[in-house]
Amino acid sequence: MQAEFWLERWAQNQIGFHNPDYHPGLAAYWDDLQVPEASTVFVPLCGKSLDLLWLRRQGYRIVAVELSRVAVEAFFAENDLSVSVSRQGELAVFAADGLTIYCGDFFALTAAELANVAGVYDRAALVALPPAMRSAYAAKMRELLPAGCRTLLVTFDYDQAEMAGPPFAVPAGEVATLYGSWCDVTEKAVADILDDEPRFRERGVNRIQESIYALTVR
DSSP H helices in the chain:
3-11, 24-33, 51-57, 69-78, 131-144, 172-179, 198-202
Sheet holding 99-103, edge to edge: 84-88, 91-96, 99-103, 61-66, 40-44, 117-122, 150-158, 208-217, 183-192
DSSP 162: T
The answer to the question of whether 201 is labelled as a binding residue is no
123 is in an annotated binding site: yes
Q: Is 45 flagged in the annotation as binding?
A: yes
SS (H, E, C) 38-84: CCEEEEECCCCCCHHHHHHHCCCEEEEEECCHHHHHHHHHHCCCCCE
Residue 202 annotated as lining a ligand binding site: no
Pick out the residues of the known binding site for S-adenosyl-L-methionine.
10, 45, 66, 123
Pick out the residues of the known binding site.
10, 45, 66, 123
